[in-house]
Amino acid sequence: MMGVLGYDVVNVGPNDLLYGLETLEETAAKSGFKLVSSNILRKSTGKHLFDPYVIQEMAGFKVAFLGVVRENARLQSATKETDDFAVADVEESLKEIIPKVREKADLVVLFSHLGSRTSQKLVDEIDGIDVAFNGGDPLVNSRPFEVGNEEVGFSLVCSAGDRGKYMGALRLVVSEHGDILRHTHELHALDKNVPENEEMRARLNDFKEQLREVKKRERVESVVGQETAGPKEKFLGASVCGRCHESAYESWRESSHAHSLASLEGKSMEQSGDCLQCHVTGHKDPGGYSVNKTDLAMVTCEQCHGYGTLHGSDGFVARPTVESCKTCHDTENSPHFDYASYWETIAH
């Protein structure tokens, strides 16, 4: 998404390593933005994990971008490799890098995850930062905060807000020597007055859809105790199975699985998702039970055997496991559950 938004440089934050270094680097390369971090290191080598600064040519000026995270930041990651990552002291890191960077760049911009107050203090204490953007914090100042005085010059500290709620624009008038003469700053809240970008909306919808499918599949899998295929599959209803499996169907018809919604109705709980998850078929699964699908309003064959459309394929559950019974017959709802005797009651 950052690629679509046209980001050039991204300061690596504590959550960006969640899916591992490789994934992050691949994403950046594919989306065409650069990753920067001036204080995330590899413990084993003591070297920076990412470029400690990135220089971009902008309107004829060389602009250096640096980025820091809090020293106590916990780098979130699903992979073990984070054990080898460390966050170095912010001031020390910057004091080492900035003099080098100043030789090569006209302007120095710092992306900070330190919080607005700390960012202001930092910019005040460390020479050579022209502009700091503070992110990851709820918006504190909508206008840039000027640090410094006439003599040493001013630095600007801007708040970017958090979670992409704002879009900012900072325009600088810069002298030949790289001094900021004037600035204009705008911050737009990306609220409902801003029309949606179609491509972004499509991507977001795609993502949400995928997430939903994954969740649903996980639930089907947990119930049938086996992997099932994707969301294109359909429940057919017990009477369809009954056309060929007559005796199994008769046996099932007489079992209490075939009347399990009635138990909820008896308690006026037939609307409760909490109860429905065990008392109907495919509650919350693609194509599963809804109020008008009366043929799924009970624990049907497919709740145990999986989607009928998988019949005959590897994804179909020929022999549901004891574990699959226990997803519903748990100690709370079925304290006397004993597979052998229970199976005998519903054997088919």
Which residues bind to ligand HEC, rule: CB under 6 A?
Answer: 223, 236, 238, 240-245, 248-249, 252, 256-257, 259-260, 263-264, 266-267, 269, 272, 274-275, 277-279, 299, 301-305, 308, 311-312, 318-320, 324-325, 327-330, 333-334, 336-337, 342-343, 345-346, 348
Provide the residue type at 126 as one letter.
Answer: I
Q: In angstroms, give the least distance from the CB of 202 to ligand HEC.
A: 35
Nearer to ligand HEC, 48 or 283 (CB): 283
Distance CA 260, CA 278 (A): 9
Q: Which residues contact 141 (CB under 8 A, 6 or more apart)?
A: 116, 158, 159
Q: Which is nearer to ligand HEC, 23 or 309 (CB)?
A: 309
DSSP collapsed to 3 states, 88-149: CCHHHHHHHHHHHHHHHCCEEEEEECCCHHHHHHHHHHCCCCCEEEEECCCCCCCCCEEEEE
- Smallest separation (angstroms) from ligand HEC to the CB of 284: 12
| DSSP code per residue over 210-271 | HHHHHHHHHHHHHHHTS----TT-----HHHHHTT-HHHHHHHHHSGGGGHHHHHHHTT-TT
Cβ nearer to ligand HEC, comparing 114 with 223: 223
Exposed / middle / buried, residue 296 (Cβ in 10 Å: 0-12, 13-18, 19+): buried
Nearer to ligand HEC by Cβ, of 76 and 333: the residue is: 333
Minimum gap (Å) between residue 211 Cβ and ligand HEC: 23
Q: Least distance from C-beta 268 to ligand HEC, angstroms? A: 9
CB of 122 to ligand HEC, least distance (A): 53
| Nearest distance from C-beta of residue 281 to ligand HEC, angstroms | 7
* Smaller CB separation from ligand HEC, 111 or 307: 307
Total length of the chain: 348
Q: For ligand HEC, which is the closer residue by CB, 121 or 245?
A: 245
